[in-house]
């Protein structure tokens, strides 16, 4: 998934952020800065990062010169973008710009670390639906910028039967039978060997092994023996993802990529022209 600034959810998020921050106007800037003053803003990385969301600057400013694209690896001191604009506009939209860039680049940076951690294993890292409400599309784009494969976007675009579905449906077989008419591949979470055997017997396309240790996961993957794709989830962190990858699943998903990413440090210096 590329950073598509034309996506309606992206535009809506930017508009909402501006409305939240500015409302009737930036009273401090309007009182202190001449209306006709032109200025230049320089967005600069203050630490190593994988940048994401820089394309949003083209929605926020008319004259944004992007020095990099989402997914680029930067070191401290690298320029991200230069913007020429009325000084008042730069000051008024500075914080919104930085909030997006720092948050999304934080997600991309953590995503890239996960991808690097499993390098050479053939395992694909997936993100999850554990995103900031209202920012899912942006955070999924940021994950992809870091090299992660996007999992389902929401409840509407993929079948994923989880333990609560199984319990309320009356078992693995009942839950799977009720989803066959949807015409989509079925992924199902299994927590016991009995559930796994039922899922395989019913033709699950992918099984989700949840909250197992790497050793337990490896044992179940040997039992599955390529009869279905395997995804590992639950308790996956940057510290243990390599151990899970060495169990040889097809996919590993981690909610921490979005829910626990730390914002990176980006500076926006504004100078009069």
CB atoms within 10 A of CB 174: 14
N-term to C-term CA, the chain: 37
Q: Which of 233, 219, 49, 220 is nearest to 123 (CA)?
A: 233
Which position among 55, 139, 187, 189 bears the catalytic label?
A: 189
Catalytic residue among 210, 246, 250, 265: 210
d(CA 92, CA 23): 11
Q: Which of 130, 173, 191, 227 is catalytic?
A: 130
- 3-class DSSP state of 65: strand
Q: How far apart are CA 65 and CA 80, in angstroms?
A: 9
With tokens 């100078």, the residue in question is: 271
Candidate list 42, 46, 95, 129, residue with the active-site label: 95
Residue 140 annotated to the active site: no
Over the range 107-139, which residues count as b (16 or more CB within 10 Å of their CB) and which as e? bbbbbbbbbebbeebebbbbbbbebeeebbbbb
Q: Are 199 and 159 in contact (CB under 8 A)?
A: no
Q: Report DSSP letters for 198-247, one per residue.
A: HHHHTT-SEEEEES--HHHHHHHHHHHTTSSEEEEESS--TTTHHHHHTT
Q: Judge whether 130 counts as a catalytic residue.
A: yes
Residue tagged active-site, from 46, 124, 152, 162: 162
**Under 8 Å between Cβ of 185 and 206:** yes
Specify whether 167 is catalytic.
Answer: no
Does residue 127 have an active-site annotation? no
Distance (Å) of CA 110 to CA 3, 14, 106, 146, 174: 17, 23, 6, 7, 38
DSSP 8-state code for residue 180:
G
95 is catalytic: yes
Structure tokens at 245: 């990858």
Q: What are the catalytic residues?
A: 95, 130, 162, 189, 210
């Amino acid at each position: 998934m590329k950073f598509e600034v034309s996506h309606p959810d992206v535009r809506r998020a930017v508009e909402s952020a501006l409305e939240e921050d500015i409302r009737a106007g930036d009273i401090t800037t309007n009182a202190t800065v001449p209306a006709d003053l032109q200025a230049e803003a320089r967005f600069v990385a203050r630490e190593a990062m994988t940048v994401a969301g820089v394309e949003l600057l083209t929605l926020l400013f008319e004259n944004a010169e992007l020095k990099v694209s989402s997914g680029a690896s930067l070191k401290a001191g690298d320029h991200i973008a230069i913007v020429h604009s009325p000084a008042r506009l730069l000051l008024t939209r500075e914080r919104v710009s930085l909030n997006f860039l720092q948050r999304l680049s934080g997600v991309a940076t953590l995503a890239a670390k996960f991808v690097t951690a499993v390098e050479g294993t053939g395992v694909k890292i997936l993100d999850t639906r554990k995103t900031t409400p209202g920012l899912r599309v942006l955070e999924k784009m940021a994950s992809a910028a870091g090299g992660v494969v996007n999992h389902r976007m929401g409840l509407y675009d993929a079948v994923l039967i989880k333990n609560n579905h199984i319990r309320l449906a009356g078992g693995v077989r009942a839950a799977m039978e009720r989803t066959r008419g949807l015409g989509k591949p079925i992924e199902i979470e299994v927590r016991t060997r009995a559930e796994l055997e039922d899922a395989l017997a019913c033709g699950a396309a992918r099984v989700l092994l949840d909250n197992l240790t790497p050793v337990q996961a490896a044992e179940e993957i040997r039992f599955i023996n390529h009869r279905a794709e395997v995804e590992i989830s639950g308790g996956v962190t940057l510290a243990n993802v390599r151990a899970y990858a060495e169990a040889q699943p097809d996919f590993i998903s981690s909610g921490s990529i979005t829910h626990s990413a730390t914002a990176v440090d980006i500076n926006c210096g504004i100078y009069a022209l």
